[in-house]
């Protein structure tokens, strides 16, 4: 995947088990699609809470935040309640969407932490990957959304 590509379409279960389709967002909002390793781990909790704390800025920028990991819908539901996460978390238990987006792993064992910024048409505008700096994903996403307005 690279900037300028059309984002692959997918559907996954959300934290309530309801099927969510990427195509349902297209034409309505920009999308911040972030892949993270695992619910409740230190870096992933920091990242999710940073998205939560700045969620209003994403909404004002005309974007929706969607998090994806290999955790179950039940784990996502508990994670979202525990940390009061206002955005969608999707369960990619079989890592099919992670593979579609070519999100690899670190050291071959830790699922990658990659954020994709999609415009309303579903075109990838930016890709940011950093396993060790989860808060940077939020800064990068907001910066790119701001540039897309210009």
Asked if 44 contacts 38 with a C-beta cutoff of 8 angstroms, the reply is yes
Scan for tokens 């210009």, then name that residue.
Answer: 150
The span from the CA of 99 to the CA of 82, in Å, is 28
- Out of 7, 31, 33, 44, pick the active-site residue: 44
| 89 contacts 33 by C-beta, under 8 angstroms | no
Do the beta carbons of residue 148 and residue 120 sit within 8 Å?
no
Structure tokens at 110: 């830790």
Q: Establish whether 44 is a catalytic residue.
A: yes
Token pair, residue 130, equals: 């950093």
- Active-site annotation, residues: 44
């Amino acid at each position: 995947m690279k900037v300028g590509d059309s984002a692959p379409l997918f559907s996954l279960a959300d934290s309530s088990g309801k099927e969510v389709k990427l195509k349902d967002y297209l034409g309505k909002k920009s999308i911040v699609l972030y892949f993270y390793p695992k619910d409740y781990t230190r870096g992933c909790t920091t990242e999710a809470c940073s998205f939560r704390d700045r969620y209003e800025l994403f909404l004002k920028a005309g974007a929706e935040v969607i998090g994806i990991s290999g955790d179950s819908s039940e784990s996502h539901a508990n994670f979202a309640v525990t940390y009061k996460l206002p955005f969608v978390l999707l369960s990619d238990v079989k890592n099919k969407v992670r593979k579609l987006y070519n999100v690899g792993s670190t050291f071959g064992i830790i699922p990658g932490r990659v954020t994709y910024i999609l415009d309303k048409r579903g075109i990838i505008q930016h890709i940011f990957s950093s396993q060790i700096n989860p808060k940077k994903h939020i800064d990068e996403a907001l910066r790119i959304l701001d540039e897309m307005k210009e």
